[in-house]
């Protein structure tokens, strides 16, 4: 079983839509959680950190459910520029990180 699992997508949504991705992790001792955004052939860039139940930053909301061992990312009012791959990252061995394979989002006009 993979340490971190994500639906690869793609999620194809129209501009203005709300879309949500889930990510499950296998180790209940996980300490912290992150969502990164990765554009094609570029490096990942930090979108949000999640340490407690959740975090919100503008149109983006991340939720953590430790009991069920998943985190989610909600994007409201999708923009064309949100098209990217979203990576879920889990830290559970003091600064040793595990990455999901990413969820691809395509926002269409």
Partner 1 sequence: DGGITQSPKYLFRKEGQNVTLSCEQNLNHDAMYWYRQDPGQGLRLIYYSQIVNDFQKGDIAEGYSVSREKKESFPLTVTSAQKNPTAFYLCASIAGGTDTQYFGPGTRLTVL
Residues that bind partner 1 (CB under 8 A): 4, 8, 31-32, 34, 41-46, 49, 87, 89, 91, 95-102
37 within 8 A of 45, measured Cβ to Cβ: yes
Q: 35 or 107, CB closer to partner 1? A: 35
Choice between 33 and 78, CB closer to partner 1: 33
**CA 2 to each of CA 50, 77, 106, 109: distance values in angstroms, whole numbers, following the listed order:** 20, 32, 25, 35
Q: What is the smallest separation between the CB atom of 36 and partner 1, expressed in angstroms?
A: 8
Q: Shortest approach of partner 1 to residue 109 CB, angstroms?
A: 26
């Amino acid at each position: 079983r993979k340490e971190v699992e994500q639906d690869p997508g793609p999620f194809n949504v129209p501009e203005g839509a709300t879309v949500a991705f889930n990510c499950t992790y296998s180790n209940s001792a996980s300490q912290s959680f992150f969502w990164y955004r990765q554009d094609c052939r570029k490096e990942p860039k930090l979108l949000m950190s999640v340490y407690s139940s959740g975090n919100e930053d503008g149109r983006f909301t991340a939720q953590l459910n430790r009991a069920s061992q998943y985190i989610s990312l909600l994007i409201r009012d999708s923009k064309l520029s949100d098209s990217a791959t979203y990576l879920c990252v889990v830290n559970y061995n003091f600064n040793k990180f595990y990455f999901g394979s990413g969820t691809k989002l395509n926002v269409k006009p």
